[in-house]
């Protein structure tokens, strides 16, 4: 099996959350994959989401562990996988 790139939308609890610190926390908890890119996406009223692209092995339940780990970070409101693409 190969690898897949998963794009995960991470919503902070409020606009006051320091996104740089949140990004560092995200990178620390994702140990079962490789964070390739983190982008910021405007949501509304100053709130920005982090769009995290992670490369993980193409195995059953590949992003579930990452989603669980991210959900444990106190400043995160929600975590949602936006898409998964197989890498060639």
Alpha-helix runs per DSSP H in 1-88: 19-29, 64-71
Report yes or no: 4 and 59 within 8 Å, Cβ to Cβ: no
pLDDT at 1: 67
* pLDDT tens track, the chain, 88 positions: 688 999 999 999 999 999 999 999 999 999 888 999 999 999 988 899 999 999 988 877 778 989 999 999 999 999 999 999 988 7
**What domains can you pick out in the chain, each with its CATH number?**
3-86 (3.30.70.60)
Distance in angstroms (rounded) separating the CA atoms of residues 59 and 46: 37
Q: Extract the tokens encoding 7.
A: 């794009």
pTM: 0.90
């Amino acid at each position: 099996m190969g690898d897949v790139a998963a794009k995960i939308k991470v919503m902070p609890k409020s606009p006051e959350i320091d996104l740089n610190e949140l990004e560092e926390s995200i990178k620390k908890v994702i140990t079962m994959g490789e964070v390739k890119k983190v982008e910021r996406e405007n949501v509304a009223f100053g709130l920005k989401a982090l769009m995290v692209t992670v490369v993980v092995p193409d195995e059953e339940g590949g992003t579930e562990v990452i989603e669980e780990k991210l959900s444990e970070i106190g400043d995160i409101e929600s975590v949602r996988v936006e898409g998964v693409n197989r890498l060639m």
